[in-house]
Amino acid sequence: MTLGFLVTLYATLITLFGLAWVLFLIGWINVGGRQIYVVHIIDSVLVALFAVVGDGLAPFRAIDTYHMIYIAHYHHYTWSRRKKDMLPNLRDHNDLPANNAPMAGRNGADPEDPEKQWEFTVLTPKQQAKLEHHQAKFCKSHSFYKPHETDTHHAFPLRLLVAIVVLLDCHSLLQISLGAVTWGWYYKIRPFAVTTVILCCSITCNAAAGLLITIGDHRTRKKDVLERMNRQELTEEAMHHIEKKRDKESESEREDVEEGSKKGRTSLQLHRHRQSEEKGTNRQSSKEEPPQSAYP
Q: Among 20, 56, 58, which Cα is nearest to 39's?
A: 20
Q: What is the pLDDT of residue 161?
A: 94
Is 128 a domain residue? yes
Q: Among 67, 294, 48, 283, which Cα is nearest to 179's?
A: 48
Where in the sequence is the domain holding 56, given as residue range(s)?
Answer: 40-221
Is 33 a domain residue? no
CB atoms within 10 A of CB 215: 13
pLDDT tens for the 296 residues of the chain, in order:
677 788 888 888 888 888 887 887 777 777 777 777 888 888 888 888 888 888 888 999 999 999 999 999 999 999 999 889 888 888 888 888 877 655 545 444 455 555 566 678 888 889 999 999 999 999 998 988 998 888 888 889 999 999 999 999 999 999 999 999 988 888 888 887 888 899 889 989 999 999 999 999 888 887 765 566 566 666 767 676 677 777 777 777 777 666 666 665 666 566 666 666 666 565 555 555 555 444 44
Is 9 a domain residue? no
Q: What is the pLDDT of residue 113?
A: 54
Is 32 a domain residue? no
Dist CA 51 CA 38 (whole Å) = 20
Number of separate domains in the chain:
1
> pTM for this one?
0.70
Is 61 a domain residue? yes
Q: What is the pLDDT of residue 43?
A: 82
Is 50 a domain residue? yes
Is 134 a domain residue? yes
What 8-state DSSP symbol labels residue 153? Answer: B
Q: What is the pLDDT of residue 214?
A: 93
Is 26 a domain residue? no
